[in-house]
Structure 1
């Protein structure tokens, strides 16, 4: 079992890197293929565990899956085996994959019933699924949880459009409800809908399939139900979390890196947030160029008070990049308060950074103050374990910038979200091996 990366840090990197397709978009788009019996072709699919598991799960339930190239597949959900959802195989596979919740909306919409095992996944606090279920109930679905079996059974033989005000702008919740509503009778209005680029991608794809969704990109979606959807082709956006990770990597290691084909207009405030840490970012065509920098200085607010960077629902700053910002701030000049509002327990990996020599005060489970070292002191390599996908990559960036050898265990967590990350970093000159 290959389960650790060994990194010799402190080397400057150089070159070009192409971001993978967006993981969080993939889980929605791949679930949407269940809404039609016709063929759907999807390209720029990332080759990562969470996505491959979902593709495998689609195959198990009767979808005809064909791989046309490394990142392009066709899916034809003409003959779905509905008995599969009562099986032990589904329980073990569906239960191990957080993304499996995303198949529920499409199944309800098309077949009027579904069952789902209680999902698992990341250790980043309580990720509630209430938003999904409350939305389905408002559309007319009835739930029955069986604690002995560990299954939720859902009857949705008569879904009707309705007004839904979401209690939180959950991306997966919004996506799931949208997929259920496109085939419901009548009009559904979703207020406080998530409006991430990934969700916009899903809605545009559904419209190409024959859905009638208006308000895409806003937090108010209106969906007029249709009786059936057709096949389509879809290309996924590059992963903005990867793009942010590579910006941070370049700054932290003082490297000159070009990130190719980033779909810049879809990145929202991500580039500007890194600029607030003093990182130079140049746009060349649709590529981001990060020049080699020996120093970067955190801005203060206009009145001179300490910079705060907090996450917020889109178009705010994505929580998935907050751990990257925290790590990159370690070697900046100046101080910054990192405020993780949307999840608890996501900052607990700072103890590893402290062991490496970072100056961080963990105020509480949601807030950490980073006092930048301004590259006066290099971090030192240590052995550590990755608690979740994003912290894992943050620790990887820290290790690449550190002096000496670091070992990162539990890299399965990293590989759930980043494809062939060691090979791609090697191509930039990183000294990283699997052990």
Structure 2
């Protein structure tokens, strides 16, 4: 009996994906565990393994196909002993086509009910002359004259400022003037479609069209939702780095025999993790009429990859040794760039850290990665005039900006987190205690 191979759900939230590449062809034998295809989700390209044994009889979804729904039959497998030529492509069953007739039956029903309402609307329009008059802008004198002459102010075009009806307009008007007709026609042009904000307009400029990857579409959607739905509050502090840089140099010398080399970013991850533990009011997530208060700090770290941005997670960052954080981050970043992260390695996290200091960016305000409650933006450290022990000196200083979801985190709590983060970095021995 032929076996239907369906589009798998490679993560708990996956609803569709792109069948990026087939690694088998019709006639190939496969066994359980063999890699059959590469499937691109919104964040990574993952390998799809065979579960059953047999021979590929049909490939029903070509490679490169986007938006393949989870559960869609993508291929048919012939079991041992079956002739491939005799096997029919597996179908999705009667459940898929069934909704179509239902929609066709229901579709005409709606307009049928709507038509009487539409015909009733015009019948009602002339009746409320008094209420429409209340909305007309007219001078008190013009209203009195109109009342004496029995004029409908809504039928008179005003010549005053902003269309205001004045004395001269009503004195020249005659009772029974049939001018209300334009009033109903005003709403008619309203459906005129305006260009959508995302509609491309090349203005005749030479260009090329590049199709968005699934990841880029997801980034666009999620960050747009974040800025539209999450009220951001931004708090910035300047942090002296000299002590941290000195400690990093000493730790790297001690860790060299183990092949571990700490980056400044590794120490920032540790500092954010410990700061979230110290200020638990910021280690939260807004959830409608409830709040999630996390008992450990899982820090998502922004990593730039060819198709966009991904945020692998350092779990329990506040409790891990910095050497462990460094080793994990190197592995996560490498596999992120290869598209080999498992969903649980980039989905979740209680807060995020984005470091653009290596690009020379001094300060920026990061967009919160929903549904998290905050993100820390790290700028470049450089030599600046800085007051140290009441005297002006040259110090290595960086700016850090926290973006907070103001629905869940008050400004005072955000300020406490920024203060804790600054203190952790300026007195960094606590990071290795």
TM-score by length of 1: 0.20
Which has the greater radius of gyration?
A: 2
